[in-house]
Amino acid sequence: MTKVLYYLFTKSVGLYLNFLSFAFPEKASQMAYSLFSEPRRGKLKKDKLPKTLAKANTKTFQYEGQEFVTYTWEGNENVILLVHGWESNASRWKKLLPYLQKSGSTIIALDAPGHGLSSGREFHVPKYADFIDVVVQKFKPKHLIGHSWGGKTCLYYQAHYTNSTIEKMVILGSPSDFKIILNNYITLLSLNSSITKALEIKYTSVFQKELEEFTGKHFASQIKTKGLIAHDTDDTVVLFDEGKKIANAWEDAIFIETSGLGHAMHDGELYEKIYSFLFED
């Protein structure tokens, strides 16, 4: 019954947008863009932070009229930066933290645009990468770890900023081809060609790049940093083949295939391998 209701809801939304596009094409396209780019989950409240984040030192940064928040677990001079994914927040790292803290490192996590305690409503990779750069310039992390869209943002960041202070990167369950995800959204709502074209133009403008080139594999092919990529064969959110695309393009990266972890990829054995890659390799 839930699947039926979800199907009817999505098709109803798409039908409304398609009808609206005949009289108000710009409004329909903007609504379709907002539905796709604005997270509906992942926000936090300052007075109700998860215990993991409540134990950290929080800091608010300003960037181009927006605020974003970081959480720091103090340690030694080695800094690790954690980058969460879509409709999540910095608390998603609570299961990995104990493994990383064994190294004595200082660990920093940030909330993406429109997520956690960060301001804004719209999320996209280049803006998230700008936030990352502010943190990197201030704290000089040697290691980047990203999950899902956070992983793709890490790839985009290092391909575009090419920061020499970052020595190793870990990418978990990351998507590669943006156009596949956009087309899935268009198909889900059965959006017409007018809205589809408007969305493609909008994102080409936001990314300053053709959508066919806005891929994790394209970014990975430009990265000289050492990498570890892990993807689960049972991931139904970001398919396993997306991880393989990134791995095949990244010259100096190890690929780990997991099974039974799904998209979240919380697993002690995997976390031990990440620790080994960062500190014992």
Annotated domain spans of the chain: 1-37+178-209, 45-177+215-279
User: What is the pTM assigned to this prediction?
Assistant: 0.95
- Residue range 55-80: average pLDDT? 96
- Residue range 231-253: average pLDDT? 97
- Residue range 35-60: average pLDDT? 95
Residue 281 pLDDT: 62
Confidence band, pLDDT 50/70/90 cuts, at residue 11: confident
Phi-psi region of 24 (alpha: psi -120 to 50; beta: other; left: phi over 0): beta
pLDDT digits (tens, 9 = 90+) for 82-118: 999 999 999 999 999 999 999 999 999 999 999 999 9
DSSP string covering 153-193 = HHHHHHHHH--TT--EEEEES---BHHHHHHHHHHHHT--H
Greatest extent of the chain over all pairs of C-alpha atoms, in Å: 62
- Residue range 240-261: average pLDDT? 98
Confidence band, pLDDT 50/70/90 cuts, at residue 208: very high
- Residue range 142-168: average pLDDT? 97
Confidence band, pLDDT 50/70/90 cuts, at residue 215: very high
pLDDT digits (tens, 9 = 90+) for 127-139: 999 999 999 999 9
Cα–Cα distances in Å, from 100 out to 107, 234, 264?
8, 25, 17
Confidence band, pLDDT 50/70/90 cuts, at residue 280: confident
Average pLDDT, the chain: 96
45-177+215-279 under CATH 3.40.50.1820, yes or no: yes
**Could you give the CA distance from residue 118 to residue 88 in angstroms, rounded to a whole number?**
12
Confidence band, pLDDT 50/70/90 cuts, at residue 151: very high
Cα–Cα distances in Å, from 28 out to 24, 32, 36?
6, 6, 13
CB burial of residue 140 (10 Å; 0-12, 13-18, 19+): middle
Please say if the pLDDT value at position 1 is more than 70: no
Residue 8 pLDDT: 77
Residue 263 pLDDT: 98
Confidence band, pLDDT 50/70/90 cuts, at residue 2: confident
Residue 39 pLDDT: 96
Q: Which amino acid is at 57?
A: N
Residue 144 pLDDT: 98
